[in-house]
A = this chain, B = another copy of it.
């Protein structure tokens, strides 16, 4: 941690800062420059207590040097994690493909979607039974009935089920039905939910929030690993920017950044990331080309009649084409689908 003293600070100020640093259990290293004096603080791993030196009169800034996360980082675990998610390896050479509708709507719809997902080559079926909707008047999901329909679809197709959890109180129910619990973008910094899902020890698909920096995202993931749950798949799904041509701005830069910073697998959701079905195949190829370990794609047997997210859903044959387009790109970067 670097403490920067204000321009014009005195020798007394420096002594005061050094004393505070020492009191907190660190060793101060002052450097007196031409225009500024700074103090490096070393000696303990946890640097958080030093942040509050910023409130001292004579301190201009406190600049962190170390990463603020640990268990998720490659410094903690240098080799890439290949997770075993209900028997499917995620993070290895074979891409993880998750597909399905935004919401479970009916027996016919989810079965048709599951069959389309399977035909296209997916190993996971996604589908929401509990939906976090911007408006309280929008369709909120079939809830437990939806979970049963997902379980049926799993029984028929053998696909593993990924479904979203939006409340701590639903965790036990979802643990029973799902293979993977999804934490959605709006709950990325809902730490109560993160802790509860971490404790469940169930595999997690953890989406980045729309205004969450990569650093904050990894700190949030740390809440999951800190509970001993290392089966965490990260997912880039678009951030909020000024651009309105796409619903969100899918931030593919996050893929190579995350792959350098963390050992966890990273997949990409180009459906939410762009919000426009016609852009999904191109961005799916790009995701794999820059190193993503898999894809999450919204598909619907009849997007024009979907109860939610119709405009970004692919039809079954469009999904098969997407995978056909992804396959040679995957090979080009040494992966398989």
User: Which residues does A use to contact B, with CB under 8 Å?
Assistant: 2, 4, 7, 20, 29, 31-36, 38, 40, 42-46, 48, 51-56, 63, 65-66, 68-69, 75, 132-138, 166-170, 186-187, 189-193, 209-211, 213-216, 219-220, 222-223, 226, 239-246, 249-257, 260, 273-274, 277-279, 282-283, 285-291, 303-308, 310-311, 313, 325, 328-329, 331-333
Q: Give A268 Cβ to nearest chain B Cβ, in Å.
A: 10
Q: Are A256 and B282 in contact (CB under 8 A)?
A: yes
CA distance A304 to B32 in the complex (A): 23
Q: Give 30 A-B contacts (CB < 8 Å), ordered by A residue.
A: A2-B2, A20-B304, A32-B42, A33-B43, A35-B66, A52-B303, A52-B308, A52-B311, A54-B310, A55-B311, A56-B304, A63-B65, A134-B219, A135-B219, A135-B222, A137-B222, A166-B192, A167-B192, A186-B189, A190-B193, A214-B245, A239-B249, A249-B249, A249-B253, A252-B286, A253-B279, A257-B279, A285-B333, A288-B289, A328-B332
What B residues does A186 contact at CB under 8 A? 189-191
Provided the pairs A66-B35, A215-B245, A241-B249 are in contact, do residues A51 and B168 lie with their beta carbons within 8 angstroms? no
Q: Are B253 and A250 in contact (CB under 8 A)?
A: yes
Q: Are A137 and B46 in contact (CB under 8 A)?
A: yes
What B residues does A42 contact at CB under 8 A? 31-34
Q: Are B243 and A214 in contact (CB under 8 A)?
A: yes
CA distance A164 to B40 in the complex (A): 35
CA distance A273 to B278 in the complex (A): 24
What B residues does A134 contact at CB under 8 A? 68, 189, 216, 219-220
What B residues does A254 contact at CB under 8 A? 243, 245
Q: Give A305 Cβ to nearest chain B Cβ, in Å.
A: 7
CA distance A66 to B31 in the complex (A): 14
Q: Are A273 and B245 in contact (CB under 8 A)?
A: no
What B residues does A36 contact at CB under 8 A? 65-66
What B residues does A210 contact at CB under 8 A? 211
> Who on chain B is nearest to A133 by CB?
B191
Provided the pairs A250-B253, A305-B52 are in contact, do residues A132 and B191 lie with their beta carbons within 8 angstroms? yes
> Who on chain B is nearest to A308 by CB?
B52
> Who on chain B is nearest to A8 by CB?
B75
Q: Are A43 and B52 in contact (CB under 8 A)?
A: no
Q: Which of A169, A216, A329 has the most CB of B within 10 A?
A: A329
Q: Give A112 Cβ to nearest chain B Cβ, in Å.
A: 16
What B residues does A51 contact at CB under 8 A? 310-311
CA distance A189 to B190 in the complex (A): 10
Q: Give A141 Cβ to nearest chain B Cβ, in Å.
A: 11
